Amino acid sequence: MGCFSSKKTKYTPGYEEPTVLASETSFSVSEVEALYELFKKLSRSIIDDGLIHKEEFQFALFRNRNKKNLFVDRIFDLFDIKRNGVVDFGEFVRSLSIFHPDAPVSEKIAFAFKLYDLRQTGFIERDELKEMVVALLHESDLILSEDYVETIVDKTYTDADTKGDGRIDQEEWKEFVLKNPSLIKNMTLPYLKDITLAFPSFVLNSEVPDSEV
Amino acid sequence: MRVPWFSKGFTRSISCPILDDQVEDGQEIARTKSPPPFYNAFEFISSMSSGFDLSNLFENKRKSGSLFTSKCSGSTIMATLETVAKTFNFRVVWSKGYKLKMEGESEGRKGKLAVTAEVYEVAPEVAVVEFSKAAGDTLEYKKFCEEDARPALKDIVWSWQGENNCQS
């Protein structure tokens, strides 16, 4: 069984019970417990306060705390459900749940839409798409002429904006994804199914531990 | 020839290898008639961006890319891929349009390794090539991508997915 610490376990701020989180997400109780191990590791990497700050998220994804990236900003903002600038354990699990292989496709489609809707207007506007293409080229250190960027955006828009009103709404996005399912392949992390193997809980318990009031 | 793009710090020559006809005439003609299928901007963003790739939260090692961009023509890329297959004793199981499947000759840990490669076009003269494992052991597949395919393809690769992100 291994060592068991006898001091009272202190949970991170915003901690929610694994049973509660499991009932509301695609994760099992032991998967939530495994995610807690990952969460603790990520949330103490730069600021040891039990919360994931944007820098820590950047560090986890790029091994570089200072790397500013439009896409990381978007993901972080969506994970930060309470909009208070940090991601706590509850928010972490609920957001990651959408990436679980068993999560409903409709949730993945909706999340991807919100990711690309940079200014949260409820539509993916042409200039938002262009901004993302430019950001991607910058991230990959590739330079394409303005004409080529316009061509890429135009062709994509022609395919997606079926109503021809100059912006992509949720309905058009959903149809577009159903025609091109690989568009949401980054919305599924197969790794989440094996998370208990990667992050075994050090405390084997069959009952829920006492939580701090 | 007007070159519409360049890579930062790019010093090596821009020309793509001119290869002899190593494919069936039928395929070559078909490829010159139509370009690779369009790889739309969302596809490009979701595949190439490390920011959108949350698997990095879980994996400690830098993930090996199985996707690269190229400025060569679709038919040159396909011909190069077929050459690479033969170099590493892979049999080209089928090659049609801008997709091919290759299979290793020797039995690996989980049977013969089979890899598919697909070429897409983002813009004229900007292609994206995606590898995926069709059969066999994942570690052998990763080894093939990183140790065999990568160096062999360097003449046609512009940028690998996930590169240039580690600068501090």
CA B33, CA A154: separation in Å to the nearest integer? Answer: 23
Query: B125: phi > 0 → left, psi -120 to 50 → alpha, else beta; which?
Result: left
Predicted confidence at residue B117, as pLDDT, reads 95
Considering only residues B48 and A173, tell me which one the structure prediction assigns the higher pLDDT.
A173
Beta bridge partners of A168: A124
Q: What is the pLDDT of residue B41?
A: 94
Residue of A nearest to B8 (CA): A141
**Residue in chain A lying closest to B7 (CA):** A142
pLDDT of residue B29: 57
Q: For the structural domain made of B41-51+67-157, what CATH number should be given?
A: 3.30.310.80
CB–CB contacts below 8 A, A to B: 134
Q: Quote the pLDDT of residue B11.
A: 45
B67-70 and B126-135 as β-strands: parallel, antiparallel, unpaired? antiparallel
CATH 1.10.238.10 correct for A15-103+188-205: yes
Beta carbons of A42 and B44 less than 8 Å apart: no
CB atoms within 10 A of CB A163: 11
What local confidence, expressed as pLDDT, does residue A115 receive? Answer: 96
Give the angle subtended at the CA of B79 by the CAs of B75 and B80, to the nearest 5°.
115
Contacts of B165 in chain A (CB under 8 A): 62, 64, 67, 139
Record: contact A61-B123, CB cut-off 8 A: no
CB A184 within 8 A of CB A108: yes
Helix (H/G/I), strand (E/B), else coil: A180: coil
Q: What is the mean pLDDT of residues A28-52?
A: 93
B34-62 per-residue burial string, b: 16 or more CB within 10 A, e: under 16: ebbebbbbbbbbbbbbbbbbbbbbbeeee
Burial A190-208 (b: 16+ CB within 10 A, else e): ebbeebbeebebeeeeeee
| Domain spanning A105-187: CATH 1.10.238.10 | yes
pTM equals 0.79
Measure in Å the smallest separation between the Cα of A60 and chain B Cα atoms: 6
Looking at residue B27, its pLDDT comes to 63
Chain A residue with CA closest to B163: the answer is A140
Where exactly are the structural domains of chain B?
41-51+67-157
Q: How many CA atoms, within 13 angstroms, populate the side-chain half-sphere of residue A182?
A: 10
Short-list A13, A53, A15, CA closest to A35 = A15
Mean pLDDT across A152-173: 95
Q: How many angstroms separate the CA atoms of B68 and B90, rounded?
A: 20
Residues of chain A with CATH 1.10.238.10: 15-103+188-205, 105-187
In angstroms, how far apart are the furthest CA atoms of chain B?
49
A contacts of B7 (beta carbons < 8 Å): 141-143
Q: A88-92, A199-203, B164-168: which has the minimum mean pLDDT?
A: B164-168
pLDDT band at A196 (very low <50, low <70, confident <90, very high): confident
For residue A61, name the pLDDT band (cuts at 50, 70, 90): confident
Q: Alpha-carbon distance B113 to B131, whole Å? A: 13
Which residues in chain B come in under a pLDDT of 70? 1-33, 60-65, 163-168
Chain B positions in Cβ-Cβ contact with residue A131 (cut-off 8 Å): none
At residue B6, the pLDDT reads 53
Residue of B nearest to A144 (CA): B5
- Cα gap B130→A192, rounded to integer Å: 23
